[in-house]
């Protein structure tokens, strides 16, 4: 036998299920008070979710328009339920959702742009790094097998087929200022990988391009290779030059 | 621990403070110049990020204004309880800004959908029953213990009514206050919206009667707002997109006469006005509050002039 608490739980679940239901109340012409009320909750949910996505994905919003974003939002609400109480945490799966839609067939770059925007959003909210200056003294140790480079937790090393950083920058301009020829070039069939690092510097997200070697180095650092292993693998790597960039750009937490 | 009628800020007792809801487009102006308001209310969830520029913005705001933390996702009436991570995030924020008030709504938000945890992303209405009162009591108790302070619970505007309710909203809220020691945040616009949507009587009369059923000492804050007018037979949506309505100002006078001076907030979330227009609304609220306080010392026949404020 169900307890009264269970029954209350079920009734609250039932209301949520009606609000999240894909069957729109908008089609119901003979509306009673309950239907009108439910429609308001459904609209509120959609509008709030669309707004939450548009804040995280401003370039996607600009490229596909609000109507298409609303359509994606409806689908995303069923794939990724909001669950933390903070809309800022919701929407990570937009990129993978786009890959399952017709939109992706016509505009394959959208999934990568969405992925890039999500990383920017996450980086913007992450806790940045303070360099442990004293830890740099470990560089002078004889045995570098037990010395490891500690990178900022906001730093992410990524590869994209499309130049998503340039596409994103172009869309920071007003719509009438965007050079459509330049955009067309950026969106054409990709021929090479674009390697980038996203990180937080002075509390704001930053993006830098990486060479193939720089990217491989960072991936190995993140994988936990010791300084000794790194220097053995990257014989010609300019460690001191890289360290000064890493400190300047706030990639580095220190050495451990 | 009480946060009501005891705190003093800038020489004002908390009960006579007037503030505005501070939203993103107004940050710059709010931080640039001096303004006449006593405090600002921010939505707690907008400041949950622990890194980036958000904490610095909040620090700047806190240096200039006392802050009231108004959360919109706590779901105090959720039968499944309140998400632990959410509560910890709110606790960290509260410890950081030491707000003058913390409030949320008499609603539910946490539940399950197809076997998965879900947050409704909206303020969903409660059935006013003994069982939901018990849930609400336990949740409010827990929140007050975790935060180490009293909270205010706001009455909701809702768009559906439940046949399972077997007590009135005011009975429900009064009993909640008695059981938990929480305070009430009375949103006058919500009362008017509900009265328009669900009562056959005059909305002002219905809302005034609602106020009369509350225990006087429990009201720790009043929210004032406006709404977008709708066609007849349509439900009004509590969109906070307009100046405080004439009805709401009128109900405010009624509320102050009943409760005395109460911390008051202008809530304007959508279709935002310019910062000076928002401050004008707060100035009007302050004038009315001052007038009502004066009225306590004048004969009733002179009351009429106050309605002209």
CA-nearest residue of chain B to A201?
B52
Q: Which residues of B touch A37 (CB under 8 A)?
A: 158-160, 235
Q: How many CA atoms lie within 13 A of B22 on its CB side?
A: 28
Tell me, what's the pLDDT at B161?
Answer: 85
* Closest by Cβ to B119, choosing from A83, A127, A204: A83
CA-nearest residue of chain A to B83?
A84
Q: Which residues of A touch B109 (CB under 8 A)?
A: 85
DSSP 8-state assignment for residue B266: E
CATH node for A126-256: 3.90.930
Tens of pLDDT, residue by residue, chain B (309 residues)? 333 333 334 445 667 899 999 999 999 999 987 778 999 999 999 999 999 999 999 999 999 999 999 999 999 999 999 999 999 999 999 999 999 999 999 999 999 999 999 999 999 999 999 999 999 999 999 999 999 999 999 999 999 988 888 899 999 999 999 999 999 999 999 999 999 999 888 999 999 999 999 998 999 999 999 999 998 888 899 999 999 999 999 999 999 999 999 999 999 999 999 999 999 999 999 999 999 876 654 444 444 444 444
Chain-chain contact of B129 with A8 (C-beta, under 8 angstroms): yes
User: Domain ranges in chain A?
Assistant: 1-108, 126-256
Topology (CATH level 3) of domain B8-307: TIM Barrel (3.20.20)
Tell me, what's the pLDDT at A226?
Answer: 96
Cα dihedral: B279, B280, B281, B285 (round 10): 100
* Closest by Cβ to B108, choosing from A12, A127, A154: A12
Residue A237 has pLDDT above 60, yes or no: yes
DSSP 8-state assignment for residue B244: P
Pairing of strands B152-154, B101-105: parallel
DSSP 8-state assignment for residue B308: T
Alpha-carbon B265 to chain mean position = 8
In this predicted structure, which of A4-8, A100-104, B34-38 has the lowest mean pLDDT? B34-38
CA distance B226 to B234: 17
* Closest by Cβ to A83, choosing from B51, B118, B132: B118
CA distance B6 to B184: 16
Residue B103: name the closest of B152, B174, B48, B43 by CA. B152
CA-nearest residue of chain A to B112?
A13
Chain-chain contact of B111 with A9 (C-beta, under 8 angstroms): yes
Chain-chain contact of B49 with A88 (C-beta, under 8 angstroms): yes
Phi and psi for B62 in degrees, rounded to 5? -65, -25
How many interface pairs between A and B have CB atoms less than 8 angstroms apart?
131
Long-range contacts from A70-75, C-beta under 8 angstroms, 24+ separation: A70/A46, A72/A97, A72/A98, A72/A101, A72/A103, A73/A46, A73/A49, A74/A22, A74/A46, A75/A101
Tell me, what's the pLDDT at A115?
Answer: 98
Q: How far is A78 from chain B (nearest CA, A)?
A: 10
What separation in angstroms does the CA of B220 have from each of B186, B214, B262? 8, 12, 6
What separation in angstroms does the CA of A4 have from each of A11, B117, B129, B135, B172? 11, 20, 11, 11, 17
Beta bridge mates, B222? B186, B264
What DSSP element (H or E) covers B251?
Answer: helix B246-259
Pairing of strands B8-9, B12-13: antiparallel
Pairing of strands A204-209, A194-201: antiparallel
Tell me, what's the pLDDT at B265?
Answer: 98
Q: How confident is the model at residue A12 (pLDDT cuts 50, 70, 90)?
A: very high
* Closest by Cβ to B52, choosing from A12, A33, A200: A200
């Amino acid at each position: 036998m169900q307890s009264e608490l269970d029954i209350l739980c079920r009734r609250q679940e039932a209301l949520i299920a009606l609000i999240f239901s894909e069957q729109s109340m908008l089609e119901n012409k003979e509306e009673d008070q309950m239907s009108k009320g439910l429609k308001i909750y459904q609209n509120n949910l959609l509008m709030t979710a669309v707004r939450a996505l548009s804040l995280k994905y401003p370039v996607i919003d600009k490229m596909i328009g609000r109507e298409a974003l609303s359509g994606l939002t409806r689908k995303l609400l069923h794939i990724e339920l909001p669950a933390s109480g903070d809309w800022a945490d919701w929407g990570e799966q937009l990129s993978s959702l786009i890959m399952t839609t017709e939109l992706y067939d016509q505009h394959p770059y959208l999934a990568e742009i969405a992925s890039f925007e999500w990383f920017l959003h996450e980086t913007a909210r992450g806790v940045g790094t303070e360099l442990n200056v004293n830890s740099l003294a470990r560089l002078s140790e004889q045995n570098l097998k037990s010395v490891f480079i500690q990178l900022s937790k906001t730093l992410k090393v990524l590869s994209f087929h499309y130049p998503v950083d340039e596409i994103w920058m172009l869309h920071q301009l007003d719509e009438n200022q965007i050079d459509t020829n330049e955009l067309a070039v950026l969106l054409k069939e990709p021929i090479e990988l674009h390697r980038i690092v996203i990180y937080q510097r002075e509390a704001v997200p930053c993006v830098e391009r990486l060479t193939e070697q720089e990217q491989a180095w960072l991936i190995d650092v993140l994988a936990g290779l010791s300084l000794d292993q790194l220097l053995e693998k990257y014989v010609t790597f300019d460690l001191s030059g890289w360290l000064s960039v890493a400190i300047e750009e706030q990639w580095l937490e220190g050495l451990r | 621990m009480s946060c009501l009628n005891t705190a003093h800020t800038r020489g004002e007792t908390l009960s006579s403070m007037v503030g505005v809801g501070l939203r993103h487009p107004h940050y710059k102006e709010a931080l640039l110049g001096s303004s006449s308001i006593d405090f600002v209310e921010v939505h707690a969830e907008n400041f949950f990020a622990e890194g980036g520029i958000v904490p610095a913005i909040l620090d700047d705001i806190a240096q200039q204004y006392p802050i009231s933390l108004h959360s919109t996702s706590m779901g105090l009436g959720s039968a499944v309880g309140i998400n632990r991570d959410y509560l910890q995030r709110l606790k960290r924020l509260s410890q950081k800004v030491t707000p003058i008030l913390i409030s949320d709504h008499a609603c539910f938000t946490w539940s399950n959908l197809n076997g998965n945890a879900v947050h409704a992303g909206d303020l969903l209405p409660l059935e006013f029953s003994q069982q939901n009162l018990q849930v609400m009591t336990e949740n409010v108790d827990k929140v007050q213990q975790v935060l180490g302070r009293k909270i205010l619970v706001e009455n909701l505007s809702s768009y559906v009514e439940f046949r399972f309710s077997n007590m009135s909203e005011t009975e429900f809220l009064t009993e909640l206050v008695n059981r938990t020691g929480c305070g009430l945040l009375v949103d006058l616009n919500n009362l008017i919206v509900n009265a328009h949507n669900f009562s056959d009587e005059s909305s002002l009369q219905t809302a005034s009667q609602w106020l009369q059923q509350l225990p006087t000492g429990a009201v720790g804050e009043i929210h004032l707002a406006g709404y977008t007018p709708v066609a007849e037979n349509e439900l009004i949506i509590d969109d906070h997109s307009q100046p405080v309505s004439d009805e709401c100002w009128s109900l405010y006078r009624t509320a102050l006469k009943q409760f005395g001076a109460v911390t008051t907030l202008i809530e304007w979330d959508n279709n935002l006005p310019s910062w000076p227009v928002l401050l004008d609304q707060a100035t009007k609220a302050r004038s009315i509050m001052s007038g009502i306080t004066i009225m306590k010392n004048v004969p009733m026949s002179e009351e009429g002039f106050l309605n002209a404020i």
